Amino acid sequence: MRTIIRTWIWESKNKLRRTMTHLFRRLTGKQRIIVSLTSYPPRMATIHESIRSILAQKTLPDKIILWLYEGDFPNREKDLPGTLTHLLAHDVQIRWVKEDLKPHKKYYWALQEFTHDLVITFDDDMIYPNTYISELMETHCAHPSAVVSIRTHLITFNADGSLKPYNDWIFEAPAHCSSLLNRPSMRLFGTNGAGTLFPPRIMPAATFDMEAIRRTALRADDIWIKVMQVVGRVPVVAATSNQVISLTSADQARAENRIGFVPGSQEEALWSSNSEGGNDEVIAKVLSYPSVKAALNGDFEQLVRDDDLDNFLH
């Protein structure tokens, strides 16, 4: 009973805070913050945990939009659990789409619809520290022409200048070398789901080539977005060094103010297959796709090189 009462009190205070925040932004003309994410049936039992952690952010979004493929849910809202529908409100919405673009759904339509707003992508299987949107916003204000990511890897190269395999890159690089923070670079690889902020109209039109996505990177949105950033000459900047994902319990992740997986959400995770060499195959497919190859003029490796970053790794 006490838990129910505490939940009701939190929800009431949270809704009031959200209403006042949205009203203040409208009155002051501040740029809106749109959080965009996607999901599919196996995650429906746990996705409310991710959304609740977004609603608990110190800097609140103006909208949270969950993009769902209507083929996954023939009865639409009737197929969704009460833990999710209970959260729906004027600022927490579901959008139904007719194309199943897998993880690309988290950005594909949002970036095309909210062209005057800041769009932040999150995944549906994580619990986020309540400072993440604030950190993304602070870094964006300092670097308005870059895509801002919470979790970033450093691309590495062989002696001949070719790319090293994905698994040989330096994962969560700023967590190990804080000097990489606040340094926009083409060499940084942002993962979209852990929290990535896209300024308005920053991505090139080629980003939304649905046929190219389907043919090359349908299950690897991070790779597709990175290549499109290179096509558009858009750098990535790391927002925080607190980006290592906790593999412990959700409660411990919250206590440590660290990003962590929602319990029970990893039975069918894309990263488990992509990380076993699959990412290298996807990179090769994307870079060899005719329109992408022409846009890059075959110079992907040179365009992402930033040897100056090596000076901060020691």
Residue 89 structure tokens: 């409100």
Query: For residue 215, how far is the Cα from the chain centroid?
Result: 22
Q: What is the mean pLDDT of residues 256-279?
A: 61
Q: Per-residue pLDDT for 272 more than 50?
A: no
pLDDT attached to residue 144: 98
Q: Per-residue pLDDT for 16 more than 60?
A: yes
Q: Which of 23-37, 181-195, 235-249, 272-286 has the lowest mean pLDDT?
A: 235-249
Q: Where are the alpha helices (DSSP H) in the chain?
A: 2-28, 47-55, 82-85, 108-113, 132-142, 173-176, 210-216, 221-231, 250-255, 270-273, 279-288, 290-296, 300-304
From the number of C-beta atoms within 10 Å of its C-beta (0-12, 13-18, 19+), residue 38 rates as buried
Domains of the chain: 31-312 (3.90.550.10)
3-state secondary structure of 172: coil
Q: In percent, how much of the chain has pLDDT > 70?
A: 87
Q: Say how many C-beta atoms besides its own lie within 10 A of residue 41's C-beta.
A: 13
pLDDT attached to residue 306: 93
* DSSP of 188-247: EEE-GGG-EEE-TT-S-GGGG-HHHHHHH-TT-HHHHHHHHHHHTT--EEE--S--PPB-
pLDDT 10s digits, 134-154: 999 999 999 999 999 999 999
Residue 118 structure tokens: 């800041």
pLDDT attached to residue 253: 59
Q: What is the mean pLDDT of residues 272-280?
A: 67
pLDDT attached to residue 244: 57
pLDDT attached to residue 293: 96
Q: Per-residue pLDDT for 265 more than 60?
A: no
pLDDT attached to residue 82: 97
Are residues 243 and 256 in contact, defined by beta-carbon separation less than 8 angstroms? Answer: no
Average pLDDT, the chain: 89
pLDDT 10s digits, 19-73: 888 887 878 878 999 999 999 999 999 999 999 999 999 999 999 999 999 999 9
pLDDT attached to residue 276: 58
Confidence of residue 249 (pLDDT cuts 50, 70, 90): low
Picking from 137, 133, 176, the residue whose alpha carbon sits closest to that of residue 154 is: 176
Q: Which of 28-32, 100-104, 156-160, 301-305 has the lowest mean pLDDT?
A: 28-32
Q: Per-residue pLDDT for 271 more than 50?
A: no
Query: What are the two backbone dihedrals, phi and then psi, of residue 126, each rounded to the nearest 5 degrees?
Result: -130, 155
Could you tell me the CA-to-CA distances from 236 to 40, 76, 165, 197, 240 in Å, in that order?
28, 36, 20, 10, 13
pLDDT 10s digits, 208-226: 999 999 999 999 999 999 9
Query: What are the two backbone dihedrals, phi and then psi, of residue 94, each rounded to the nearest 5 degrees?
Result: -110, 135
Q: Per-residue pLDDT for 96 more than 60?
A: yes
Are residues 78 and 106 in contact, defined by beta-carbon separation less than 8 angstroms? Answer: no
Q: What is the mean pLDDT of residues 287-310?
A: 94
Q: What is the mean pLDDT of residues 160-165?
A: 94
Are residues 36 and 110 in contact, defined by beta-carbon separation less than 8 angstroms? Answer: yes
